[in-house]
Chain A
């Protein structure tokens, strides 16, 4: 009985495909509205005058759009310089993180030994113990290595603190690849390395991309460490620059802040737009439906 219904369902799918998808489109639209509405808000706020911003009945479309907020934001702060530095830091930090995490994650997932159990334990401990409590000792180490006030210092910190996540996630993705696939390739006569690059790598690509994205965005948005490590105006990164539009007690200059935040959000989105295609692995293209 049950089986018949299901088979019938499977046949139906072909015919009423368009209609069947309607709820899915609706759900997706709901998600997108819920998650992406701030983009519209940022844009609208960035274009408003102070008077319009303080209206009790806010509108989405500014009545008298102005570019003054952008002008103020770029006049007062070196946003372009800060964004460039942030980009360099985030690119280095994310690429280094993934490059060193990938082999280690593979080892953690495939070799069972005491060492990698310790490694897994370590990854968790380092995430569980509150970051704010180790910020001072870490700062002192950086100072003694003369890395304070330098961008490489910041890159090192970002790598150190995204590494646990990267390891943890990547070993999850490696585990999700059935070892049999790898063994099968090895039996086929491919060398070990070849079996990794040829079989495992394509399956891992989406996971690597997700991890890369995580590392990039974490670094791009990281605030607290940049705050204490960087002191000269000419090494400051973007999050520090943005914080300057906020005053005491959460009072902020919303207009310039929104304008600057818009400029800070878009690079991450572009970066994601470029690499999101890779979230679909070469081998798996179109495989997973329904």
Chain B
């Protein structure tokens, strides 16, 4: 009997502990006693060799110069940072300074887990980063107020990595940043390069949504529209342009390698080095892998982004944010402004083979050289605008439940473009409905 009641009591205690959660008492770094240094945890997602080194070096530099604010470098990973943060936010034990990307921020901002930085940003940092980049981190706080929930620092644009030999042999006009290829020229070039078992282009579309949506802006395709405070999905002629053109390359021109279709961005690289296809549309960061892996004697170039009616692309940026529960937000802000100043951003961008948001960093000679296509890549940042989908509440669910399967089926030629459009809109609006109650 006694044992039973003891067990029951234990169960009650456990239950009470579980239910009485409510996120009381954050512990992101203990409160500093006078005379002791403030301690900050910095969750970083850097993973490439060079960028890891750059990150560690900057933290070390900071710790040496600021004995009063000591930063602990904690390495996380992109694959599961979301799970980690959702749980740690719920427990109030998240790191003080958090590295993530802008699509993830909108959710956490609306959840109330991130600090609004609007009136904490030092003027120098604020003016060094152009407004269009700040737009990628400005979100609704879930109650209708707009706030800045991170400092954007690395951006990605879509360029084309090409096999120089095959490109030269095709005898097409080489595009430049000033005079980029139009989509028509691109399609024609791909067709020309398709012969003797070689394809002109490869579209790795395992995760087709972000890539398609970012490129759709070339023709003004936004995929979402907001009227009277209600957001709905829109697939009109502008949105269909890029969809149709990629589909044509696959099934009409047959200039795109069908094997690549189901692959992740980096997966077709072995076939690329072997010359199975000539061009690979990819994020600028992929240049790192090509530079590291390409066999000796393999020549490759970076081609600037394509032009539809404009060269605009949707931008996604990597960010540093501060947890709402952080005990030392001001110190954290100081660290961020050091970490993301011009010269440091140049180092970070170089380490990750991405584009800095800082105007000062973008002028750094190390990332404007001709080598490894840096000049083309860095110049492409000018065409980046905030991707409309970033601001859509429920985009994540639309992407995973509706858009991913629909686009996969469309690119695999299982459904027509009209069916695809219909499902994107109808099923999509049903999903969005859930977020607008």
Determine which residue in B47, B83, B84 has the highest number of CB atoms from chain A within 10 A of its CB, and name it.
B47
Residue B52 at the chain A interface, CB threshold 8 Å: yes
Q: Indicate if the CB atoms of A54 and B18 lie closer than 8 Å.
A: no
21 contacts between A and B (CB under 8 A): A50-B292, A54-B273, A55-B274, A137-B21, A140-B18, A140-B90, A140-B91, A143-B93, A144-B17, A145-B17, A227-B84, A228-B87, A231-B74, A233-B74, A233-B75, A243-B79, A243-B80, A244-B47, A249-B265, A250-B79, A251-B289
CB contact between A50 and one of B74, B76, B293 (< 8 Å): that residue: B293
Bound CA–CA A231/B95 (angstroms): 8
Residues from 37 to 68 in A contacting B, C-beta threshold 8 Å: 50-51, 53-56
| A53-B293, A54-B293, A243-B80 known; A249-B207 Cβ under 8 A | yes
Checking B52, B73, B86, B273 against A55 with a beta-carbon cut-off of 8 angstroms, the contacting residue is B273
User: How close is B231's CB to chain A, nearest CB, in angstroms?
Assistant: 26
Give per-residue flags for B262-293: 1 if the beta carbon is below 8 A from chain A beta carbons, else 0. Answer: 00111001110110100000000000010011
Q: Is there a chain A Cβ closer than 8 Å to B49's Cβ?
A: yes
Contact (A246, B47) CB under 8 Å given A56-B276, A144-B17, A231-B93: yes
Asked if residues A136 and B49 are in contact (CB atoms below 8 Å), the reply is no
Q: By the criterion CB–CB under 8 Å, are B41 and A51 in contact?
A: no
Give Cα distance in the complex from A228 to B95, angstroms. Answer: 11
B430 at the interface (CB under 8 A from A): no
Residue of B nearest to A149 (CB): B93
Task: Confirm or deny: A224 has a beta carbon within 8 angstroms of a beta carbon on chain B.
Answer: yes
- Distance, CA A232 to CA B87, complexed state (A): 16
Q: Assess whether A143 is in contact with B295, with CB atoms less than 8 Å apart.
A: no
Residues of A within 8 A of B80 (CB): 223-224, 227, 243
A248-281 residues at the B interface, CB under 8 angstroms: 248-251, 253
Q: A51-B293, A244-B75, A247-B78 are in contact. Are A72 and B17 (CB under 8 A)?
A: no
Does B429 have its Cβ within 8 Å of any Cβ on chain A?
no
Given the interface pairs A55-B273, A139-B91, A228-B83, the reply to whether A247 lies near B48 with Cβ below 8 Å is: yes
For the complex with contacts A232-B72, A246-B77, A248-B79, 5 further pairs of A-B residues with Cβ separation under 8 Å are: A56-B270, A140-B21, A143-B92, A243-B80, A244-B47
Q: Is residue B383 contacting chain A, with contact meaning CB distance below 8 A? A: no
Categorize the interface residue count of chain B.
35 or more
B88 within 8 A of A: yes
Q: Decide if B14 is an interface residue (CB 8 Å cutoff).
A: yes
Task: Give the complex CA separation of A253 and B88 in angstroms.
Answer: 27
Query: How far apart are the CA atoms of A250 and B267 in the complex, in Å?
Result: 10
State the main secondary structure of chain A at its contact with B: helix
By beta carbon, the residue of chain A nearest B23 is A140
A55 to B266, CA, bound (A): 13
Interface residues in B129-163 by Cβ distance below 8 A to A read none
Interfacial chain B residues near A72, Cβ < 8 Å: 49
Is residue B125 within 8 Å, beta carbon to beta carbon, of the partner chain?
no
* Residues of chain A within 8 A of B83, CB atoms compared: 224, 227-228
Q: Chain B residues with Cβ under 8 A from A76's Cβ?
A: 49, 52
Per-position binary interface string of chain A over residues 125-148, scored 1 when its CB falls under 8 Å from any chain B CB and 0 otherwise? 000000000011111110111001
- Check A233 against B84 for contact (C-beta < 8 Å): no
A149 to B95, CA, bound (A): 12
A69 to chain B, nearest CB (A): 11
B294 contacts A by Cβ under 8 Å: yes
> Taking CB as reference atom, which chain B residue is nearest A132?
B83
Q: Does A173 contact B (CB under 8 A)?
A: no
User: A76 vs B295: C-alpha distance in the bound complex, in angstroms?
Assistant: 26
B85's nearest neighbour on chain A, judged by CB, is A228
Report the bound CA distance from A228 to B295 in whole Å. 41
Tell me, yes or no, whether A245 is within 8 Å of chain B by CB. yes
Contacts of B47 on A, CB cut-off 8 Å? 244-247, 253
In the complex, what residues of B have CB within 8 A of residue A135's CB?
87
Instruction: Give every chain B residue within 8 A of A248 (Cβ-Cβ).
Output: 78-79
B87 and A136 contact, CB distance less than 8 A: yes
Closest chain A residue, CB of each to CB of B4: A115
Contact with A232, one of B14, B74, B265, B271 (Cβ below 8 angstroms): B74
Q: Which residue of A lies closest to B286 (CB)?
A: A251
A141 near B264 with CB under 8 A, answer no
Contacts of B95 in A (CB 8 A): 231
B14 partner residues in chain A, CB cutoff 8 A: 141
Residues of A within 8 A of B17 (CB): 140-141, 144-145
Can you list, as one digit per residue, whether each of B6-22 has a CB less than 8 Å from chain A (1) or not (0)? Answer: 00000000100110010
**Is the pair B88, A228 in contact by a Cβ cutoff of 8 Å?**
yes
The residue of chain A having its C-beta at the shortest distance from the C-beta of B52 within the complex is: A76
The 6 closest A-B pairs by CB, nearest first: A54-B293, A248-B78, A56-B270, A56-B274, A228-B87, A137-B18
* Most chain B CB within a 10 A radius of its CB, from A76, A223, A244: A244
In angstroms, Cα B95 to Cα A72, docked, is 27
Set B87, B271, B289, B293: member contacting A139, Cβ < 8 A: B87
Residues of A within 8 A of B78 (CB): 246-248
The residue in chain A whose Cβ has the minimal distance to the Cβ of B21 is: A140
- Nearest residue in A to B73 (C-beta to C-beta)? A233
Q: Which residues on A sit within 8 Å (CB–CB) of B79?
A: 243, 246, 248, 250
Query: How many angstroms between the C-alpha atoms of A249 and B269 in the bound complex?
Result: 15
Q: In the complex, what residues of A have CB within 8 A of residue B207's CB? A: 249
A51–B80 alpha-carbon span in the complex (Å): 28
The CA of A51 and the CA of B78, in the complex, are separated in Å by 25
- A72 and B49 CA atoms in complex are apart in Å by 8
**Chain B residues, Cβ within 8 Å of A50:** 292-293
